Amino acid sequence: MSDNFDVIVIGAGPAGYAAAIRCAQLGVNTACIDKSQGKDGQPTLGGTCLNWGCIPSKALLDASHKYIEAKNDFAEFGISTGEISIDVPKMIARKDEIVKGLTGGIGALFQGNGVTSYSGSGKLLGNGQVEVTDHNDLTTVLNGEHVILAPGSAPVEIPAAPLNGSTIVDSAGALDFDSVPTRLGVIGAGVIGLEIGSVWNRLGAEVTVLEALEDFLPMADTRIARDAKKMLIAQGMDIRLGTKVTGATPTGDGVVVAYEGEDGEHELVVDKLIVAVGRRPFTEGLLGADSGVALDENGFLFVNDLCVTDVPNVYAVGDVVRGPMLAHKGTEEGVMVAERIAGFKPLVNYETIPNVIYTHPEIAWVGKTEQQLKADGTQFNAGSFPFAASGRAMAANDTQGMVKILADAESDRILGVHILGPQASEMVAQAVIAMEFDASAEDLGIIMFAHPTLSEAVHEAALGVAGHAIHVVNRKRK
Ligand code: FAD
Ligand code: NAD
């Protein structure tokens, strides 16, 4: 096998594997190096997303959602069941099978498209040289015309709650519990805390979430965040904002968590504690002394808008560079870099990155929030529509939440779309498409939507921006 490649990619998560596959599809001789090993100790492709992130968490979210529907909602539809129970090892085994299928699928895509795969750690030495150290500590040096760095991110750890792999775990550990903890503590009311907290809450755990900030989901639209918080609390999650965890002491079979709130010091006794306080760029062992690649002040690899580092022909994509840590953002960056190497000129539009939190109801948005527009001094009009007035949501007995659309007061251009509701993750794609095409709220309002669908709420909210929604009382005669 030749050790010379046109492109060497380090990291086979969604940013790196997409870059490698696209390079190979464009006829570029490509190698991809990844060091991950799965639960069985075998090399695995797909990075955090496929192994310990997006996919396994959604497998558990879907399983626990079906469980809670069967338990709480089926009777409403006239469906009777026996006693509902959950077989946690079976649920976890199903999740592992999905992971196995998808990660194996990346291997097949590499093979089919002609990507040369190396299992081990890659280190950028300089002059396009990359040292690969395999799992037996044997090293090889590869030469690449271009190098794409995609090493991803790792969970942030806090001294107050050191992980012990059994009772104090990070998000990966929280996807592998063998039974439902009676009492579950979660540090961090961010995306992971709410998603994984929801899984175990639905399955019967008493979940307490300790969040340092006073605000709940400050990155989401304030109205949507407020409504979502109420719904999650109604589902049984105990969300304590403005709390500072000062210690976590493992006892025989649990953890005593010490924290400070505005009313003084408290103790929380739990069986399991999940630390979900954010992720950090992962660059350990990545850069040799002569790599020439610089980090920014937050430890991310420094890149320009085109994902080029300080070294020409060395690029970085995904969680390891600025911007939201989202799989689809990394994938688009990987594809952009691959296509630019092959001579095309694509760009990533960072203004239209969709965000989704897969709670139930789901929270999804794209573009600016109302509070951002106010802070920027942008004049806007807002239209909203509740799922409580949607025939399809009623038919599905899933009527919580709303769609909210914000449009420029002068041009009517859509600036932000915020959805709290069933299948918000799917509906937000309509908003992304609209914004990519610079649509106005009126454009969305005059497009025909199928009836009855949840998406009609998007249509009505768009009409509502100019006060034209149909399924509302409107006496303004506009
Ligand atoms: P990663 O997926 O982290 O992959 C990097 C790979 O590079 C890893 O396999 C790593 O082992 C390897 N590597 C690192 N250094 C080296 C080296 N020196 N040599 C060789 N290999 C190396 N995002 C979403 O968009 N939607 C979601 O629903 C979602 N859910 C998530 C749920 C959880 C629980 C978590 C933890 C994350 C979730 N994310 C989600 C975030 C998503 O997983 C990341 O944004 C995404 O995986 C980043 O892709 P990446 O390719 O940059 O890095
Ligand atoms: P996050 O940044 O979403 O949330 C972390 C939360 O922890 C924040 O609210 C923060 O204020 C809080 N926090 C920080 N330090 C704390 C402390 N000492 N005590 C109490 N609270 C503290 O991070 P995350 O939930 O760990 O997720 C990491 C990344 O993974 C995110 O950037 C997210 O984009 C990505 N992710 C995405 C999805 C999705 O797209 N659905 C799902 C999971 C993860």
How many residues would you count in the chain? 478
The answer to whether the CB of 279 is under 6 A from ligand 2 is: yes
Q: Is the whole model's pTM more than 0.95, yes or no?
A: yes
Q: Which two structure tokens, joined as six digits, stand for 103?
A: 């990660």
CA of 381 to the centre of ligand 2 (A): 31
Calpha distance 236→291 (Å, rounded)? 51
CA of 13 to the centre of ligand 1 (A): 5
Q: In this structure, are residues 43 and 32 in contact, taking their beta carbons and an 8 Å threshold?
A: no
Calpha distance 59→133 (Å, rounded)? 33
Q: Catalytic residue among 360, 451, 459, 468, which?
A: 451
Q: In this structure, are residues 418 and 404 in contact, taking their beta carbons and an 8 Å threshold?
A: yes
What pLDDT score does 2 carry?
Answer: 57
Calpha distance 321→229 (Å, rounded)? 30
Bridge-partner residues for 381, per DSSP? Answer: 407
Q: In this structure, are residues 226 and 370 in contact, taking their beta carbons and an 8 Å threshold?
A: no
Q: In this structure, are residues 386 and 446 in contact, taking their beta carbons and an 8 Å threshold?
A: no
The answer to whether the CB of 150 is under 6 A from ligand 1 is: yes
Q: In this structure, are residues 272 and 167 in contact, taking their beta carbons and an 8 Å threshold?
A: yes
359: closest CA among 243, 220, 199? 199
451 is catalytic: yes
What pLDDT score does 362 carry?
Answer: 98
Per-residue pLDDT 10s for the chain (478 aa) are 559 999 999 999 999 999 999 999 999 999 999 999 999 999 999 999 999 999 999 999 999 999 999 999 999 999 999 999 999 999 999 999 999 999 999 999 999 999 999 999 999 999 999 999 999 999 999 999 999 999 999 999 999 999 999 999 999 999 999 999 999 999 999 999 999 999 999 999 999 999 999 999 999 999 999 999 999 999 999 999 999 999 999 998 899 999 999 999 999 999 999 999 999 999 999 999 999 999 999 999 999 999 999 999 999 999 999 999 999 999 999 999 999 999 999 999 999 999 999 999 999 999 999 999 999 999 999 999 999 999 999 999 999 999 999 999 999 999 999 999 999 999 999 999 999 999 999 999 999 999 999 999 999 999 999 998 899 887 776 5
CA of 53 to the centre of ligand 2 (A): 13
Measure the CA angle with vertex 456, ends 452 and 460; round to 5°: 140
What pLDDT score does 475 carry?
Answer: 76
For 69, residues 6+ apart whose C-beta sits below 8 A from its C-beta are: none
Atom of ligand 1 nearest to the CA of 12: 6
